[in-house]
Amino acid sequence: MLSSIAVCGVCGASTRIGSQNAGTRPAGSKEPIQRYRVYECAGSPGGTGFHVSMRQEHLDEIVTDAVLARVSDMDFEIPRTLSGDKDDIERRALRLQIKADYIWLNRVKEEAEKRVQPELLERQEQIVFPKIEAAYNRLDVLENLDPLVRRFRRAESALIVWEGMTLVQHRHVVRTLVIPRIDPVSEEARGQRGPNLDRVKLIWRTHSE
């Protein structure tokens, strides 16, 4: 998912897919040595070897979790093309309005459950949901949104949206939002199993490129 998207924390080069041995072959065994896939630094032009590598599923897991957490945040701002920020005040006001409307609906829901009067919530939803939809529509006009990333804005579950996407779409979303940087393994972390979040620096984009 992240080949050529993730970069080396030493030289800044893009990563490529490689493979490494999962262990050593026992003496006398004819079984092939198991290997696993990694993202590895492509290296500097004319140089040999690579600076960093990370197990593919570990980096995929770290980046996927971070992206889903990012787009699930109600204050999440989708990267847009660089332009004047004359509409920034209106955008912020719209996001605050949407947040306030959802907070209000949650309070009404609690009160309706306390009184056992579901019609209270239904009436307010009929009033408030059109306001939220109108605010989102206005944000779409003000912002130059990436169509794929836009799907997360109104989704009830970012995970469901993500799972419904193809690998190509996953790559597009990640490339639009963030640059994952793989740093070398520290001495203390050598031999550690599982994803190592300390090795991954996520550089979030502030505008479309």
- Per-residue pLDDT tens over the stretch 141-165: 887 777 888 888 778 899 999 999 9
- Per-residue pLDDT tens over the stretch 56-69: 999 999 999 999 99
Q: Are 179 and 207 in contact (CB under 8 A)?
A: no
Q: What pLDDT sits at residue 82?
A: 46
Give the separation between CA 207 and CA 191, rounded to whole angstroms: 38
Query: How high is the mean pLDDT of the chain?
Result: 85
Give the separation between CA 14 and CA 208, rounded to whole angstroms: 19
Secondary-structure breakdown of the chain: helix, strand, coil percentages, each rounded to the nearest 5: 45, 15, 40
Give the separation between CA 63 and CA 6, rounded to whole angstroms: 10
What is the domain partition of the chain in residue ranges?
Answer: 1-80+157-209, 84-143
- Per-residue pLDDT tens over the stretch 105-122: 999 999 999 999 999 999
Write down the pTM of the prediction. 0.72
CA distances in angstroms from 135 to 36, 51, 81, listed in the order given: 47, 47, 21
> Would the pLDDT of 74 be above 70?
no
Q: Are 52 and 184 in contact (CB under 8 A)?
A: yes
How many Å separate Cα 204 from the centre of its chain? 9
How many residues are there in the chain? Answer: 209
